[in-house]
């Protein structure tokens, strides 16, 4: 990979498909520099134990919030737990643009300057490239469309939650539905379910 890092995968909870915090520590080594958690299908990961691990090992957390716009865990929004937050605004997302779009957010000023350069050919000053970068700038049309949709995000999420309730109430009990827990406010980017194993 371009950043010189090697991803080490951790198995998920089978009932949420999000990372299983009990399996993280066994993967940590002296080379581990960050934990990347992916809030899949509109559900935030089980963040309390993940934050404890991050503190214990002094490891930064990167949140992939691409599918969790507006989701909450114990009252806190996706994108408020870690050190870096990545968002996708692909058209199918709850907060979607007209085409490909995304954002990276951080509270680290020095790193934010590097990230801004990386999205602009690795350049802070025109024709002077400090890094091997990309042309990944969010164009004005996408930004304008997203600013309109952002005001509608709560309404979109409410509709997704309503549809999910209809699925759960009306589909056969042969299916394993998404886990519902009072600590989580899920926004169901995708409604995912499994089929019961009837062979056992």
pLDDT digits (tens, 9 = 90+) for 1-20: 567 788 999 999 988 899 99
The mean pLDDT of 52-81, rounded to a whole number, is 96
The reported pLDDT for the residue numbered 18 is: 96
Alpha helices per DSSP H over 47-152: 47-57, 109-118, 140-150
Q: How many other CB atoms are found less than 10 A from the CB of residue 131?
A: 14
Task: Give me the percent of the chain exceeding a pLDDT of 70.
Answer: 96
pLDDT, position 172: 79
CATH architecture assigned to 21-101+138-195: 3-Layer(aba) Sandwich (3.40)
Structure confidence by residue, pLDDT tens digits, 154-197: 999 999 999 999 998 998 778 888 888 999 999 999 998 887 66
Q: Where are the domains of the chain?
A: 21-101+138-195
Are 123 and 133 spatial neighbours (Cβ–Cβ below 8 Å)?
Answer: yes
pTM assigned to the model: 0.88
Task: Answer yes or no: are the C-beta atoms of 42 and 72 closer than 8 Å.
Answer: no
How many CB atoms are closer than 10 A to CB 144?
12
Contact between residue 43 and residue 192 where contact means Cβ atoms under 8 Å apart: no
Q: At what angle do helices 153-170 and 140-150 cross, to 10 degrees?
A: 60
- pLDDT for res 14: 83
């Amino acid at each position: 990979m371009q950043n010189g890092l090697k991803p080490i995968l951790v198995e998920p909870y089978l009932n949420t498909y999000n990372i299983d915090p009990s399996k993280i520590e066994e993967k940590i080594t002296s080379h581990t520099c960050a934990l990347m958690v992916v809030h899949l299908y509109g559900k935030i990961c089980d963040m309390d134990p993940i934050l404890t691990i991050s503190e214990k090992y002094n490891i930064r957390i990167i949140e992939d919030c691409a599918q969790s716009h507006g989701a909450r865990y114990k009252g806190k929004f996706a994108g408020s737990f870690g050190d870096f937050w990545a968002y996708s605004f692909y058209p199918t997302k709850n907060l979607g643009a007209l085409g490909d779009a995304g954002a990276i957010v951080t509270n680290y000023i020095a790193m934010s300057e590097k990230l801004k350069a990386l999205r602009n050919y690795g350049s802070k000053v025109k024709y002077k490239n400090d890094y091997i970068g990309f042309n990944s700038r969010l164009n004005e049309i996408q930004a304008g469309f997203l600013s309109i949709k952002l005001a509608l995000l709560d309404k979109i999420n409410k509709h997704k939650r309503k549809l999910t309730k209809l699925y759960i109430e009306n589909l056969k009990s042969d299916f394993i539905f998404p886990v519902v827990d009072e600590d989580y406010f899920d926004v169901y980017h995708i409604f995912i379910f499994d089929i019961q194993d009837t062979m056992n």
